[in-house]
Amino acid sequence: MRIPPLTALRTFECAGRKLSFTQAASELSVTPGAVSRQIRVLEDFLSVQLFHRANREVGLTKEGKEYLSRITDAFSLIKSATDDLMDVPEGAPLRVSTSSTFTLRWLMPRMNSFYSRNPKNNLQLSMNLAAVDFQRDDLDATIKLGHENTPQSVVRKLFDADLVAVCSPRLLERHGELKEIGDLAKLTLLHSTARPGNWSLWLNAAGMPNFTNRNVMYFESSSLAYQAAAEGVGVAIAQLPLVLDDLESGHLVMPFPIVAPDDEVYNLIWPDRSPRNPSFRPFRDWMLDEAQKTTARVAEVIAAIQQRRQGGGFARVA
């Protein structure tokens, strides 16, 4: 059986993934020279050049790319088999990734409810917008807007992400009620670079696709745009499920009774193999229960919006 030295294979997988001998050396806790030597060992064994080397930069050859793809799959299978075999220590954290906006606006306000039902659960949250691969990433679940074709996973819808315009009631007290979409021209429109198309989606639903405003402000995340709206800086486009509490408390209002559907929905996603961490099922069940409550509350708000529209005018919805 012709199997290359495993150390050389592991080094190649890391260097190919990083496209850097230096970064691979850091991950493997060795020197760049040691990485280079292991790559040479593998190339000599295979009698194939795996990397182009020029001016301290490296790139995979055609053969190297093909080999890396298959080697990566093999290492993923080894990791999966090892995870399935090894028991998770009692009290091990449940590792869940999601966005900062979802965490701050929906998950954190409900954490007391979760821990009251599951006092021994050790939840470890990470903020991550990148695509997830459970064969590669050390995660028990992820919460995503959309599912990005996450491989080898189970996807359960949590709720829709309908879009509404929101602002502080203090803003309307200063500038007056907004009677038509054109009145937005006198205010600042708050944008999230993480969701750059939200304003366009909402304006299309409002029948004003060509509306523009020079008074704009950009934020790195939607949660920052929502906070700026609550502080009276301007008007933001928000995902309705994430601002329900603010609308009910009066910190935010909807100046127009217009809801724009979003094609993407929030999903809870987990590996399709049997969960190794016993804390996962209680977390999943709690998430789905809370999502049902959110869906019901959103339906009530949308019904109120429809009643306002039937009444005529653009009276704000608190």
Share of the chain above pLDDT 70, in %: 92
Distance of CA 188 to the CA centre of its chain: 27
The sign of the dihedral angle between the CA atoms of 129, 291, 257, 315 is negative
Number of domains in the chain: 2
The Cβ-side half-sphere exposure at 201, using a 13 Å CA radius, reads 20
Q: Say if residue 64 is in the same domain as residue 124.
A: no
Q: Say if residue 33 is in the same domain as residue 153.
A: no
Q: How far is Cα 171 from Cα 26, in angstroms, rounded to an integer? A: 51
Out of 66, 85, 104, pick the residue that ends a domain. Answer: 85
Query: How much is the mean pLDDT over the chain?
Result: 88
Q: Say if residue 95 is in the same domain as residue 77.
A: no
Q: What is the pLDDT of residue 317?
A: 46
| 83-97, 102-116, 142-156, 234-248, range with the lowest pLDDT | 83-97
Q: Say if residue 59 is in the same domain as residue 120.
A: no
pTM over 0.85: no
Q: What is the pLDDT of residue 212?
A: 86
Residue-number span of the structural domain to which 258 is assigned: 90-318
Q: What is the pLDDT of residue 65?
A: 92
| 57-71, 148-162, 229-243, 298-312, range with the lowest pLDDT | 298-312
Q: What is the pLDDT of residue 314?
A: 44
Any domain includes 213: yes
Any domain includes 1: no
Rounded (5°) CA angle 19-23-25? 115
Give the SS3 label for residue 82.
Answer: helix
Q: What is the pLDDT of residue 63?
A: 93
Q: What is the pLDDT of residue 44?
A: 92
Confidence category of residue 192, pLDDT binned at 50, 70, 90: very high
CATH for 20: 1.10.10.10
Out of 58, 85, 112, pick the residue that ends a domain. Answer: 85
**DSSP assignment letter at 272:** S
Q: How far is Cα 60 from Cα 21, in angstroms, rounded to an integer? A: 12
* Res 318 pLDDT > 70: no
Q: Write down the residue that tokens 């190794």 correspond to.
A: 276
Confidence category of residue 87, pLDDT binned at 50, 70, 90: low
Q: Say if residue 43 is in the same domain as residue 134.
A: no
Q: What is the pLDDT of residue 311?
A: 63
In tens, the pLDDT along 289-298 reads 999 999 999 9
Q: Say if residue 208 is in the same domain as residue 108.
A: yes
Out of 45, 67, 85, pick the residue that ends a domain. Answer: 85
In b/e form, how buried is each residue of 214-241, taking b as 16+ CB within 10 angstroms?
eeeeebebbbbbbbbbbebbbbbbbbbb
Q: Where are the alpha helices (DSSP H) in 86-194?
A: 100-102, 111-117, 169-175
In tens, the pLDDT along 34-49 reads 999 999 999 999 999 9
